[in-house]
Structure 1
């Protein structure tokens, strides 16, 4: 489906750009990443080295995702890890609860786009590795 090539590429590019700052933060402001882990994921202490390892993993995953490398794995992991993060921090997404954060709501359509991109991964061929 040639008409899907550009929209799928733009979706992949926008998801990459959406997720990248969270991982860059692990290197530039590790204390902020640790604070998020404590507040939303109930991790009492996240050693900086663990945060950096997670950041390296995510950066490599996002680069694989960006270039369309091993789509079943890279697209699937991006979607599953992001959806898992939503589930773990669910109170932040529910209006009326103490932890509600309206900015987090952007993660929901992003997750839907990730799922759609996973389903249509064989059609996503523009600037994508085979």
Structure 2
């Protein structure tokens, strides 16, 4: 939604998104959450403030696990260059990568087990 768009026009645009279920609209700046809440309530739209997602500190997770960048990338299926870019601040993990890193942070053994499990419908490699 554009700033200063009349609320009824914004509602019409948002309704197209809401037709299939719930929609989330990110507003980077709101002058008054109470005013927005009131205006949208008049249009029968619920406003819920959601805090930004927790950003995982990749280096902290890796250091706590006593792993090198190479070990961490290999064990969890990450590109080494991508991991280095995250740790050096040249880029940030996208939402999916951040969620994956959060899982690694909270329960690395569960991630290891999931990665070790055979994919459904895939035959195991012959033993050598």
TM-score greater than 0.5 by the shorter chain: no
TM-score by length of 2: 0.29
TM-score, normalisation: structure 1: 0.29
Which has a greater percent of helix?
1
Q: Which has the larger radius of gyration?
A: 2
> Which of the pair has the greater relative contact order for Cα pairs under 8 Å at 6+ separation?
1
